[in-house]
């Protein structure tokens, strides 16, 4: 594999010819391949992105925001985690390959729990999701508002293809990769047996920035609606996904 400009060129070792070319949106630097050769990870420092390529088809599977300047990339021997060195923050971020989410050493968890980002506290609620690309489930992508609502900012999650396309076309939001998968409800908001509704509620921008709350609790949903939030999703109750209870 050779890295040139904004491209990843794949070299066929048998014929010594280029077999494929993958277009990126920044100059690639670090590259690593998982032990099975199923995934190729490429870092583009200028865009703060880790690209995940299918090692068999050389297509882009997803792109993840992993910091300000990701350079070095390494894969754990069992392929379960990817380590990304960030030159700007002098840190190493760890990607859990299964859900495609930053976990160990990630700024998001540490800074939120430590209070470095003011105004956040754990609710004690949780729900279980599926790994990315689970058959029969939809991949959930995340968007970030950046400086659109300064001094506030927001993340937005959606499993719906139509909604993803709409938000990607909105310059106020930046695509932040796929994070996990979840089953979708039917048009009435009903979930399949063994799954419970995940409600999504929108604050209508009441705090100066759009925010959404996700909960599996019907009681919390009702209380949040009473505070002026709007249900979003399928059916009258606004079911965004169907998940497993913790």
Q: Is the pLDDT of residue 103 over 60?
A: no
Residue 41 in 3-state DSSP? Answer: strand
The answer, yes or no, to whether residue 101 has pLDDT greater than 50, is: no
At 42, which CATH number? 2.130.10.10
pLDDT tens, position by position, 146-205: 888 888 878 899 999 999 999 989 988 988 777 778 999 999 999 999 999 999 999 998
- 235 in the same domain as 170: yes
Instruction: Give yes or no for a contact between 97 and 103, defined as CB atoms under 8 angstroms apart.
Output: no
Say whether both 243 and 132 belong to one domain. yes
Q: Which two tokens stand for residue 158?
A: 């959606």
Last residue in a domain, options 83, 117, 151 = 117
Which pLDDT does position 104 carry in this prediction?
Answer: 34
Q: Which band of pLDDT confidence, cut at 50, 70 and 90, is reported for residue 120?
A: confident
**Residue numbers of the domain that contains 4:** 1-117
Pairing label, strands 239-243, 81-86: unpaired
- pLDDT exceeds 60 at position 102: no
My answer on whether 50 and 109 are in the same domain is: yes
Q: pTM higher than 0.85, yes or no?
A: no
Tell me, yes or no, whether 14 and 93 share the same domain: yes
Q: Are residues 45 and 128 in the same domain?
A: no
Same domain, 52 and 138: no
Domain count, the chain: 2
Together in a domain, 104 and 176: no
Q: Are residues 155 and 204 in the same domain?
A: yes
Please give the mean pLDDT across all residues of the chain.
Answer: 83
Instruction: Provide the pLDDT confidence category of residue 108 given band limits of 50, 70 and 90.
Output: low
Same domain, 103 and 173: no
Higher pLDDT, residue 49 or 106: 49
């Amino acid at each position: 594999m050779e890295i040139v400009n904004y491209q990843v060129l794949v070299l066929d070792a048998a014929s010594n010819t280029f077999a494929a070319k993958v277009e990126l949106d920044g100059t690639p630097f670090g590259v690593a391949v998982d032990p099975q050769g199923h995934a190729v990870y490429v870092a583009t420092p200028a865009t703060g992105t880790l690209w995940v390529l299918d090692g068999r088809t050389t297509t882009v599977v997803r792109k993840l925001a992993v910091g300000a300047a990701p350079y070095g990339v390494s894969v754990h021997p069992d392929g379960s985690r990817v380590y990304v060195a960030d030159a700007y923050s002098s840190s190493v971020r760890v990607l859990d390959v299964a859900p495609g989410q930053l976990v160990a050493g990630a700024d998001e968890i540490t800074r939120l729990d430590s209070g470095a980002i003011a105004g956040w506290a754990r609710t004690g609620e949780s729900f279980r999701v599926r790994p990315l690309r689970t058959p029969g489930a939809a991949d959930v992508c995340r968007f970030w508002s950046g400086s659109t609502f300064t001094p506030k900012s927001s993340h937005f999650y959606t499993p719906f293809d139509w909604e993803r396309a709409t938000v990607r076309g909105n310059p106020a939001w930046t695509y932040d990769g796929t994070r996990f998968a979840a089953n979708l409800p039917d048009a009435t908001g009903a979930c399949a047996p063994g799954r419970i509704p995940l409600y999504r509620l929108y604050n209508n921008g009441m705090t100066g920035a759009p925010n959404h709350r996700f909960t599996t609790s019907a009681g919390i949903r009702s209380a949040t609606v009473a505070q002026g939030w709007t249900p979003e999703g399928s059916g009258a109750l606004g079911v965004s996904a169907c998940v497993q209870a913790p």
